[in-house]
Structure 1
Amino acid sequence: MVDGINNHTRFIVDLRRHMWMSGIEVELRRLIWQIAVVGKYISAKIHESNRKLAGFKNVYGEDQLALDRISDDILKNMLRNSGFVREYASEEQEDIITIGQGQEQYIVTADPVDGSSLVDTNLAIGTIIGIHRNSIFDCGKNSMVAALYITYGPLITMIYSAGKGVHEFVLDREGEYVLSEENIRLNERGSIFSPGGLRKDWTDSHHRYIDKLEADGYKLRYSGGFVPDINQVIIKRGGLFTYPALKKSPQGKLRLLFELQPMAFIVEQAGGMATDGKDDILSLKVNSVNQRSPIYIGSRTEVTMAREFLSQ
């Protein structure tokens, strides 16, 4: 709780006031607010998108929507003009880009539109951001100072953490991000699970783990979008998302820098855990911008159970 503010308060608290009251340093809170504002522009682009492919592949060989490229440009240009960011790494770029003068404090990583392949189905998609103070070629525990994600669904919501808890904001009709829930904490155990990858490609140990969750009555909740599935685990106060090591892809599918580190930072701040099946996600050293990793993320009970099954 921040100075007597709780989820039942009659007073509206916007994002900037909440960060100020939380004691977040001034440059970091200004940066988070500027990124949140970019979410409004990306949302507008989603609504006006013609859903046509841009006609080329991104650096990972996937079909790249025009929306991805436009959103990346919007975010990159905002950060370039922010005065707080010296380097930018995006899932849509081949490598880290120097965008500052060299003395700025922060490095930003981004998946500007996570789940863009779902745009034509009208499912929720999102933006994932990690904020680092040191080189990103380190482990997240040493470099990350904040993370956030924005969900573009029936409502536009943003969940962020700057190391002082996990807080949800909703974009209201006046264009302000207003506090919805603060200090979100996951239960020790959840009741939902979101398993990625084709069942036929799962390893035997992962297969046994999923069978155990099913036998224990966990409810299957999987949209195919990383942001909405993680958001569901957080808002429902527990459960598990996993995209495991596959027989032909032992490093899984999701990218450590752009997707897994930011979500692990947030989930750990909410009392949960995130692991590759052996080591904590935030303890993994980043060796390249396109590095991938398996992921088990959510409540402590489910993630601990995953480690036990995978060690057998």
Structure 2
Amino acid sequence: MPQQVTVTEHLLLHQKRIPGATGQFTRLFNEIVLSAKIINREVNKAGLVDVLGFTGKTNVQGEEVKKLDEYANRILIHRLARSGVLCAMASEENADIIEVPHGLPLGDYVCIFDPLDGSSNIDVNVNIGTIFSIFKRVSPEDSHLLSTDVLQAGLHQVAAGYVLYGTSTMLVFTTGDGVHGFTLDPGVGEFLLSHPNIRIPEQGRVYSVNEGYSSYWDEPTKEILEYFKSTDNNRRKPYSGRYIGSLVADFHRNLIYGGIFMYPADNRDPKKPEGKLRLTCEANPMAFIVEQAGGMAVDGRNRILELEVENLHQRTPLFIGSREDVLKVREIYREHDAKG
């Protein structure tokens, strides 16, 4: 029987290869793993306890907060604050940067997270997940924390990942040295290496987008959709349409099988001219993962990881997945730009 590698063992082996490693990162990651196990436990029994439905509150995005969303957010904030290695946190559910409570030890890392992506699917038992992004502080350790410590471009991430709560619970992450997947073994309570060195196919077979909003899209996006639906593409046959409505779930399927996920800008809501997805806690971590797996992520024209972050809850269009598919998206946008 092949030897099973736990996520902690994997991180410790990685740490040994880094000169001057202090163990802070491993400690932080272990808290993320523990948080995921606690959230997973509640997700698995969500229909049996009072964690389904809405809380009656709205988050900073103006969206109704699910009870399980709020629970996941509390767990992550509580556990990560006590890791002793963070100087700040940020969550999709909180309007401002979350400081480590007074009296707790501080460190050099910043963690940004979406506690429960796809939460609109909670009540119907569809896959949901936790997304996280980790940066190193850039200001001097003995100075006051600056907004620039949190609002860094995605290319400065030191790690990013997601936990997918589904038929099995998976942790997928990168530290800038490839992408690895770990599956939770409920018998031993450990995440075990199940998908080493994940590589996304160069060209996919699937497009993932909510076509119900197509009338709100710009002309390049409408042309992109027709490209994937027609026989006049590189595959000479239509791509299959697969859309779950949970970024983590759609992204994970495409990462393994190949394909492209699209959430374009639309004119449906004047308050959201750039679409729905958040740059800091959704687009950036997924872009880091997909690039490490050989794929691409753009906002249509520009590389996601190079976008300047102006505010914590900044939104962006997102086209992410297999390299050849995303290159076609960028090509169509640039052709339209050239026409004026």
TM-score class, shorter = over 0.9
Query: 1:67-126: CA deviations, max 9, x gaps?
Result: 111111110011111011110000110110111668511000010001111011110000
Structural mapping, 1:38-49, within 5 Å: 38-49=35-46
Q: Name structure 1 gaps, 5 residues minimum.
A: 1-8
The answer to whether the aligner puts 1:214 opposite 2:237 as a matched pair is no
Q: Which residue of 2 aligns with 1:33?
A: 30
Query: 1:249-302: CA deviations, max 9, x gaps?
Result: 430110000101000010011011100011111101111111000000011111
Q: Which deviates more, 186-195 or 23-32?
A: 23-32
Residue type at the aligned position of 1:176: E
Q: Name structure 2 gaps, 5 residues minimum.
A: 138-148, 231-236
> Does the aligned pair in 2 maintain the 1:196–1:244 contact within 8 Å?
no
> Does the aligned pair in 1 maintain the 2:136–2:157 contact within 8 Å?
yes
The answer to whether the aligner puts 1:231 opposite 2:245 as a matched pair is no
Q: Which residue of 1 aligns with 2:264?
A: 244
> Does the aligned pair in 1 maintain the 2:201–2:322 contact within 8 Å?
yes
Q: What is the alpha-carbon distance in structure 2 between the residues aligned to residue 89 and residue 131 of structure 1?
A: 10
> Pairwise CA RMSD of aligned residues?
1.5
Structure (1 or 2) with the larger CA radius of gyration:
2
- Report the identity percentage: 38
> Does the aligned pair in 1 maintain the 2:206–2:254 contact within 8 Å?
yes
- How many corresponding residue pairs? 302
> Does the aligned pair in 1 maintain the 2:82–2:105 contact within 8 Å?
no
Q: Which residue of 1 aligns with 2:330?
A: 307
The alignment partner of 1:309 has SS state of: helix
The answer to whether the aligner puts 1:256 opposite 2:271 as a matched pair is no
Q: Which residue of 1 aligns with 2:125?
A: 122
Q: Which residue of 2 aligns with 1:156?
A: 169
The answer to whether the aligner puts 1:269 opposite 2:292 as a matched pair is yes
Q: What is the alpha-carbon distance in structure 2 between the residues aligned to residue 273 and residue 70 of structure 1?
A: 33
Please state how far the C-alpha of 1:37 moved relative to its aligned partner: 1.6
Please state how far the C-alpha of 1:52 moved relative to its aligned partner: 2.4
Residue type at the aligned position of 2:87: R
The alignment partner of 1:217 has SS state of: coil
Residue type at the aligned position of 1:240: I
> Does the aligned pair in 2 maintain the 1:136–1:286 contact within 8 Å?
no
Structural mapping, 1:1-312, within 5 Å: 10-22=2-14, 23=17, 25=21, 26-49=23-46, 50=50, 51-99=52-100, 103-134=106-137, 135-141=149-155, 143-172=156-185, 173-196=187-210, 198-215=213-230, 216-236=237-257, 238-248=258-268, 249-311=272-334, 312=336
Q: What is the alpha-carbon distance in structure 2 between the residues aligned to residue 32 and residue 103 of structure 1?
A: 15
TM-score under structure 2 length normalisation: 0.85
> Does the aligned pair in 1 maintain the 2:179–2:196 contact within 8 Å?
yes
